[in-house]
Amino acid sequence: CYLSQIILMTLSCHGACAEVDSDTEAVAGKGFKLGCISCKRRSEVPGSATIEWHFRAKGDADFVLIYTYNEEGPTIEHDQFLDRVDWNGSKRSNDIQDASIYLLNVTFNDSGTYSCFFNRILFYDNYEYKDVVSKVVHLSVVGKATRGTASIVSEVMMYVSIIGLQLWLLIEMIYCYRKIAAAGEEALREAANAEYLAIASESKDNCAGVQVGE
């Protein structure tokens, strides 16, 4: 989930749109960002969208409208969320692709299913295209932050692989150092040998010369 945040940040730096899934676990008493992103299929086509968020509490049968965001701005439509929702989506534009909202002071009663709707109009040269996209977030509220086993396992794996890599690097360095040192000694020995042979053969030649001279 950190990775996806980093990817999202990188992409939003470049103005690109990425449909990252919302987190689904909120902590009671804290704030929580309900994510909802719908990228336009054709990013170059100008568009405009209004947003609706619906909520179905755990155990309830029906969805109720809780929040709208349109030309007139944000409106909280349900008492349960009065003064507790902030817009976290696209700013300064009707061409909304990020419709995320921020829940303040989450309570256990906020557990349930949220669904966001994009009512989008795409303005082509000769016509307008209407499109409705919806996304669903299943939110569970917990007393304090719990961490998924998967995230703990992946963190442990990360440390294991970092330590493993460093050990491997160290061993490789020692191995290389030894090899270089050995190669150096070998070269020295060879050079010494060569010199010895050269001197030996030279003196042999000399001897031969001397013998011929006699």
Ligand X SMILES: *[C@@H]1O[C@H](CO)[C@@H](O)[C@H](O)[C@H]1NC(C)=O
Binding site for ligand X (CB under 6 A): 83-84, 86, 88, 102, 104-105, 107, 109
Choice between 19 and 86, CB closer to ligand X: 86
Q: Can you say whether the dihedral through the CA atoms of 76, 77, 79, 81 is positive or negative?
A: negative
CB 38 within 8 A of CB 132: no
Choice between 105 and 201, CB closer to ligand X: 105
Q: Residue ranges of the alpha helices (H) in the chain?
A: 2-13, 149-213
Phi and psi, residue 54, nearest 5°: -115, 155
Least distance in angstroms from the C-beta of 6 to ligand X: 14
Question: Would you call 106 helix, strand, or coil by DSSP?
Answer: coil
Least distance in angstroms from the C-beta of 115 to ligand X: 20
Least distance in angstroms from the C-beta of 156 to ligand X: 29
Residue that the structure tokens 């996806």 belong to: 4
Cα separation, 109 vs 100, in Å, equals 20
Choice between 107 and 161, CB closer to ligand X: 107
Choice between 142 and 160, CB closer to ligand X: 142
Least distance in angstroms from the C-beta of 148 to ligand X: 22
